[in-house]
Amino acid sequence: MAGQKFKNLEIKHIEFNAQRTLRTTKPSLFEARKSGELLLLQDANIAFANQILSLNQQSQIDLADALTSYKKINMSPCIDIKHDDLTDSLKTYLTSLGFELVETLNFLSIQCADIQQTIPKIKVERLQPKHANIFLDLLKTSGLQCTDDIWQLKQQHYCTERFRCFIAKIDGQPRALATTFIDEQYGLLANAFTQADFQNIGCQTALLTARLQDAKSLGLSALIVDVIPNTASERNCLKLGFQPLETRYIWQKPDK
């Protein structure tokens, strides 16, 4: 997947997540804008949507002004840095500002034309809008708390053609979920969750297989997914044909 198309898909996904979040009734105020050579994602109401992209040795000079703009909306951003851009001097600079490396993510991609025909070994269903409550009920078993007021506002975003919600069933009961977010001809796979008693029996492999087949049937061009390195999720994706795209390092200030 071309770099700019990947970036556009990622930004659209973050914007959508800010709109659909079940943590608050507050509306998203998301905007994406340039600050020097940096790309700033800002939302005065939704904390996780505040991110800084395109930081490297050259754009480091723009970081101080960028951070000031986040202070004005009382938000502390996370900073996404590509593997090749994270130099020792940049690490030192970020540390001096109070940032810490909190996560490493590998981004993988697959061309949908290369997806092989496979049938999931566990029953998987894609939920329609009228069945969005099934998705919410399963989400709540992960510890999510969502009031009726929030769900009434946000339900419209779930189980749509753009945000496709899948569940895996064991003995007829929903036990795992995952999603595909679509923008134009590209899709992003996310939101994998399996109930504790049903982990390690193939639910996520079945959900991944079903989403791949769904994407191919829709005629999408490519899919991306982010995974923690050296995990079962990464191994499953590679086994089904995903290829490494890039590695990112996530830096953030610790909560006070």
Please give the average per-residue pLDDT across 75-84, as a whole number. 97
Does pTM surpass 0.85?
A: yes
- Report residue 4's pLDDT band, with 50, 70 and 90 as the boundaries: confident
**Over the stretch 158-197, which tens digit does the pLDDT of each residue have?**
999 999 999 999 999 999 999 999 999 999 999 999 999 9
**Token pair listed for 92:** 């030192």
Helix, strand, or coil (residue 29): coil
Q: Residue 255's pLDDT is what?
A: 83
| Tally of CB atoms within 10 A around 20 | 17
Q: What is the average pLDDT score of the chain?
A: 96
Domains of the chain: 3-105 (no CATH), 111-246 (3.40.630.30)
Per-residue CA distances from 31 to 11, 43, 212 (Å): 10, 7, 31
Please give the average per-residue pLDDT across 101-121, as a whole number. 95
Residue 3 has pLDDT above 80, yes or no: no
Ramachandran bin of 187, using left for φ above 0, alpha for ψ from -120 to 50, beta for the remaining angles: beta
Q: Residue 2's pLDDT is what?
A: 64
Instruction: Yes or no: say if 163 and 151 are a contact pair by the CB < 8 Å rule.
Output: no
